[in-house]
């Protein structure tokens, strides 16, 4: 392979983006992927609308990456959300900003974007070798984009770990991120409310507070607000999750409302719905957790979290190639002509577009470094 040829391992969004940047720069690109079709997990993400990135101010966005913020900042600033949206629009895909600030394609799915993207890559001469598993480094320039360890049936099976560890490259163990957490619900509560959202709540876990929506599942609890603090819940297990069912009202106001309108002949559910504005699932959460029917009780419902659900069904994963193994361009320091990008690198972020944003930005950073070194 000549200096003007690059192998990319992995046909997910990071690998495809790196391929486009390189091919547009005149590099001959071959993508290897052990799955029969590319971007399987990307397509799965599209079933929920395909959250591409987020429109919030840059400084707020960067904070979402937690301990990896400093490492990822240069790449994200160089390929920010506005540039990502322009790129999507350039594929003929219109986008819009939702009420939460998240950015989606107007068609709310991934398949049209992927079709247009693959057509562009084909026009640039990129070769995709599907059903081909990477066997290891061969001395040529390589970009690794093999994903993390969630949803392994879609391709991210982490079977590359032994190859990298044999090269003395540090790979931190994978853990679930943006995952469901197990709760031992009673059968009555589980059967009635599985799949029911609890909207506009405040959450407090070990002092970390967020606002948003959570979802009751048959196994436990999930949803955007849970994902936003899942790293803290995973890394500080065994503590109580406090749920504020009425975050816009103080306990004093709620107590005044309860006192001003006694229950009378109303059922407890109707009374709490009328006086406190609680939903049926919120009322049942009070009962499920034996919370007192007071303002204080409504603002600190205690849920005992058992543990995260399995890594295989988490939205994403933490762990992977240690950041200390990479330079600022995502080059593996000990090898010199190999890069690692996307979710196989040890960073994590909540849902909201932050995952795809960092995958795309890291891909552009690595590809541009290769182009610069070849010129």
**pLDDT tens-digit series, residues 216-245:** 999 999 999 999 999 999 999 999 999 999
> What CATH code is carried by the domain that includes residue 363?
3.50.50.60
| C-alpha to C-alpha distance for 93 and 80, rounded to whole angstroms | 18
Q: Are residues 120 and 222 in the same domain?
A: no
The answer, yes or no, to whether residue 82 has pLDDT greater than 90, is: yes
Residues 6+ apart with CB under 8 A from 286: 245, 272, 278, 293, 297, 298, 301
Q: What is the dihedral of CA 161, 166, 171, 175, to 10 degrees?
A: 40
Q: Are residues 300 and 315 in the same domain?
A: no
| pLDDT at site 375 | 65
Asked if residue 174 lies in contact with residue 319, where contact means CB atoms within 8 angstroms, the answer is: yes
Q: Are residues 273 and 347 in the same domain?
A: no
What's 290's DSSP letter?
Answer: T
In terms of phi and psi (left: phi > 0; alpha: psi -120 to 50; beta: otherwise), the region of 205 is: beta
Range of the domain at 222: 181-304
Q: Are residues 295 and 150 in the same domain?
A: no
The answer, yes or no, to whether residue 48 has pLDDT greater than 80, is: no
Where does the pLDDT of residue 27 fall: very low under 50, low under 70, confident under 90, or very high at 90 and above? very high
The answer, yes or no, to whether residue 25 has pLDDT greater than 60, is: yes
3-state secondary structure of 192: helix
Q: Are residues 12 and 129 in the same domain?
A: yes
Lookup result for tokens 């079933």: 47
Mean pLDDT value across residues 246-269: 95
Q: Are residues 350 and 269 in the same domain?
A: no
Q: Are residues 41 and 146 in the same domain?
A: yes
| C-alpha to C-alpha distance for 68 and 318, rounded to whole angstroms | 11
What's 191's DSSP letter?
Answer: H
pLDDT tens sequence across 145-178: 999 999 999 999 999 999 999 999 999 999 999 9
Q: Are residues 159 and 13 in the same domain?
A: yes
In terms of phi and psi (left: phi > 0; alpha: psi -120 to 50; beta: otherwise), the region of 328 is: alpha
């Amino acid at each position: 392979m000549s200096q003007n040829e690059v192998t990319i391992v992995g046909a997910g969004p990071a690998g495809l983006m790196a391929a486009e940047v390189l091919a547009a720069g005149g590099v001959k690109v071959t993508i290897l992927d052990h799955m029969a079709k590319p971007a399987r997990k990307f397509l799965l993400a599209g079933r929920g609308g395909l959250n591409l990135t987020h429109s919030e101010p840059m400084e707020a966005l960067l904070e979402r990456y937690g301990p990896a913020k400093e490492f990822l900042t240069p790449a994200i600033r160089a390929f920010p959300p506005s540039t990502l949206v322009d790129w999507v629009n350039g594929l003929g895909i219109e986008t819009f900003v939702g009420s939460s600030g998240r950015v989606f394609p107007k068609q709310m799915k991934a398949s049209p974007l992927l079709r247009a993207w693959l057509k562009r890559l084909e026009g640039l001469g990129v070769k995709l070798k599907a059903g081909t598993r990477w066997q290891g480094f061969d001395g040529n320039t390589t970009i690794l984009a093999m994903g993390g360890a969630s949803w392994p049936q879609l391709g991210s099976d982490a079977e590359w770990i032994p190859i990298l560890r044999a090269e003395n490259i540090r790979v931190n163990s994978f853990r679930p991120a943006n995952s469901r957490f197990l709760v031992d619900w009673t059968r009555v509560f589980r059967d009635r409310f599985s799949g029911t959202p609890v909207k506009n709540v405040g959450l407090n876990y070990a002092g970390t507070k967020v606002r948003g929506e959570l979802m009751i599942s048959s196994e436990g609890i999930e949803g955007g607000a849970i994902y936003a603090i899942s790293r803290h819940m995973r890394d500080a297990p065994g503590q109580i999750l406090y749920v504020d069912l009425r975050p816009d009202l103080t306990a004093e106001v709620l107590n005044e409302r309860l006192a001003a309108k006694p229950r009378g002949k109303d059922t407890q559910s109707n009374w709490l719905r009328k006086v406190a504005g609680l939903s049926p699932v919120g009322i049942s959460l009070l009962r499920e957790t034996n919370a007192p029917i007071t303002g204080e009780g409504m603002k600190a419902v205690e849920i005992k979290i058992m543990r995260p659900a399995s890594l295989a069904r988490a939205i994403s994963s933490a762990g992977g190639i240690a950041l200390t193994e990479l330079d600022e361009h995502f080059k593996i320091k000990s090898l010199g002509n190999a890069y690692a990008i996307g979710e196989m690198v040890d960073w994590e972020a909540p849902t909201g577009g932050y995952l795809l944003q960092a995958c795309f930005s890291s891909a552009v950073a690595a590809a541009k470094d290769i182009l610069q070194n070849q010129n």
